[in-house]
Structure 1
Amino acid sequence: MTDVHPRTARPATAEGMLAAAGLVDAHIHPDKTSWGDRWMVRRPAVTLDDLIRNNILALDEYGASVEDRAFALMSNALRNGTLGMRAHVDVSTEIGLAHVEGVRAAAERIGPGLTVQIVCFPQFGLLTNPGTLDLMAASLQNGADIVGGIDPLGVESDVAGHLDAVFGLSERSGRDLDIHLHDGGEDGLAQIREIAARTRAAGMQGRVTVSHAFALCDGSLPSLRATLDEVAAAGLWITTCALGPDPVPDLDLFASHGVQLAAGSDGVRDSWSPFGTGSMVDRAHLLGYRTGAITDADLDRCYRIASTEGGRMLGIPDLTLEVDATSATRLEFDSPTIAQLVVDRPSPVRVLRHGQVL
């Protein structure tokens, strides 16, 4: 049977390095990071509401600007082989467009080696924070690329109203849509089915992402398999970050239903968590560890989810391609195989984009 996926690696270069596909961070929050800043003392949190409240309290506690912190994290990601990134950036009445402008400035400082898509993300509520939708619309003219959303039920308590707002903005602006959905259980699955139905009705197949989608990770839910079929039929993308105790997808089950999956870092050393490095090699390792990867094929799949699958999700042509030792865009690792690379977690020896050594 022909492998439908692009190869993520080919035999060694003349220097004996393994040539591998560029990595893609499909879900990260660079405006929240404390990378390159002083150590952040974190408050305890049990619920999502606790985490969001801590996020608001932390806004006045950073020593460095959004631009400088984002630049430090994104530079480290690039050094570790990340060539594409979808950055979820807060937009709210509390902060206006400042975070979007800061992350866009950081991306411009880094240059074309790292392709950055910015999602205008209503972390502190949309319907529950009047004025945020207008700010999101303005952000799309001031550095943001994609419309974001947050749990329509768990945060907003109004599934139809929230989805009307974000799908409406997406359709009016012609931008793609990426919705955070932490809600679990059958309520979570029902929201995902509604997102899938609206995606098909709007003709937006392949342009809508559900981030986290924890409900899709619960094999005990009666409607899981039917929901996975609807996700696939709508061409929805799902992102996973394999974080701490958070649920992770059954990769075989997702594959059997044709569900598209990419990986990201989520928060990196922010008010939510002291962990993270911005390295997608580390994230492929964590995904393999959390999903019980054993075989080389399992480990290769984790690298693919962290590289070429993310490239497909973001629509970046040179990050979706089959790679060999002559590819203009590639990473070079001192490792014999992708499987061992995922286990050992080395940094790349060289990072190349469009023929330029970065």
Structure 2
Amino acid sequence: MTANPPPSHLSTPGLVDSHIHPDKTSWGGAWMSRRPASTLAELIENDRASQFSFDLSVEERAFALLSHAVENGTLAMRAHVDVSPEIGLANVEGVRAAAERLAPFLTVQIVAFPQFGLLTNPGALDAMAAALDAGADLVGGIDPVGIEHDLHGHLDAVFGLADQKGRDLDIHLHDGGETGLEEIREIAARTIAGGRQGRVTIGHAFALCDTSLPSLGRTLDAVAEAGIWIATCALGPDPVPDIDLLERHGVRLVAGSDGVRDSWSPFGTASMVDRAHLLGYRTGAMTDADLERVFRLASTAGGEMLGLPEIADWSGADSGTRLEFEAEHVAQLVVDRPAPVRVLRDGREVPRG
């Protein structure tokens, strides 16, 4: 009787979660029962109510989630962390403390995120400025029209704060339709005018997912010219982009988890292999090339966005920063979704547990 051959070991670049909310997670704590919500405003109000109901601290919950992400191969992430007059700096300080406990294995960029409004929430802009002095890295934003009802006022505020503090921007944009595309073109114009090419990200950008919109093509061209990154999460019923179309226009795309088991959704694992699988499934990936592409969006593309050459310019199986899987091929890896058997950063192996 012939013994089965040992599993093949596949080495890959490290994974990057380019859009995640670790301060909102219930990971590591008791089960959270979610309240129904059918609109973005209702989801945000549910989120606001949950912020002060957790038994565990932000640091404890974020550390539990981030630790799990690292064990599953995530070596860097862009973390959107709520800042408001009610919350103050507590969430930024908690996520930063959790991230520091995982150094040197995990790089975390924190976005100061005005989830509950900026212009519509008095004191929020001052809280954002304070957060950037207390451990946040980037300036965040939230639907200038849909939430703030003032396209130019909101963008004046966030771009002005970015200029004042010398920071990059990462703006949530759920607004759809031609309104959403108009917002995106305005962000692109301001990006170019300020010489910020390559330093601005738009999260979700649902309007870019609607191929029926007349101005989609010129909006994609404007995004590409501005070097804006688009972060997609393939979450639940949310729209997903036509990846082929974005690539033809030269738009750079990355992938993220978004919320992981928070008040918005009971789902999420913080595994970017899982997220690549979901993105491939949602976008109809079929060929090996399709599956390899969604893996790149969850790894090297994110490394480029975050400015991490050891991931973006991965040198191969001999690299000191790599993941090892029991798999034959990246396409198989994306479909089967195994956890890595080894995770290494700069030659140091991540200890289990």
- After TM superposition, the score normalised by the length of structure 2 is 0.97
Per the alignment, residue 201 of structure 1 pairs with: 193
Q: Deviations over 1:193-247 (max 9, x none)?
A: 0000000000000000000000000000000011000000000000000011100
Alignment of 1:117-128 (within 5 A): 117-128=109-120
Residue 319 (str. 1) matches residue 311 (str. 2) = yes
Contact 1:239/1:261 (<8 A) preserved: yes
Alignment of 1:201-220 (within 5 A): 201-220=193-212
Per the alignment, residue 143 of structure 1 pairs with: 135
Per the alignment, residue 17 of structure 1 pairs with: 9
Q: Deviations over 1:260-301 (max 9, x none)?
A: 000000000000000000000000000000000000000000
Tell me, in whole angstroms, the C-alpha distance in 2 between the residues paired with 1:16 and 1:208.
40
Amino acid at match of 1:316: L
Contact 2:7/2:327 (<8 A) preserved: no
Per the alignment, residue 7 of structure 1 pairs with: none
**Match among 256, 263, 266 for residue 271 of structure 1:** 263
**Match among 317, 322, 330 for residue 338 of structure 1:** 330
Alignment of 1:83-122 (within 5 A): 83-122=75-114
Per the alignment, residue 218 of structure 2 pairs with: 226
Tell me, in whole angstroms, the C-alpha distance in 2 between the residues paired with 1:180 and 1:109.
28
Amino acid at match of 1:299: L
Contact 1:330/1:353 (<8 A) preserved: yes
Q: How many residues align?
A: 345
Per the alignment, residue 167 of structure 1 pairs with: 159
Residue 130 (str. 1) matches residue 122 (str. 2) = yes
Offset, 1:141: 1.1
Tell me, in whole angstroms, the C-alpha distance in 2 between the residues paired with 1:46 and 1:164.
30
Amino acid at match of 1:159: L
Tell me, in whole angstroms, the C-alpha distance in 1 between the residues paired with 2:193 and 2:7.
52
- Percent identity, aligned pairs only, is 71
Tell me, in whole angstroms, the C-alpha distance in 1 between the residues paired with 2:85 and 2:302.
31
Moved more, 320-329 or 182-191: 320-329
Q: Deviations over 1:86-107 (max 9, x none)?
A: 0000000110000000000000
Amino acid at match of 2:240: V
Offset, 1:15: 8.9
Residue 307 (str. 1) matches residue 299 (str. 2) = yes
Residue 28 (str. 1) matches residue 20 (str. 2) = yes
Tell me, in whole angstroms, the C-alpha distance in 2 between the residues paired with 1:289 and 1:234.
29
Contact 1:80/1:347 (<8 A) preserved: yes
SS at match of 1:140: helix
**Match among 71, 82, 85 for residue 79 of structure 1:** 71
Divergent runs of 4+, >4 A: none
Gaps of 5+ in 2: 1-5
Gaps of 5+ in 1: 1-13
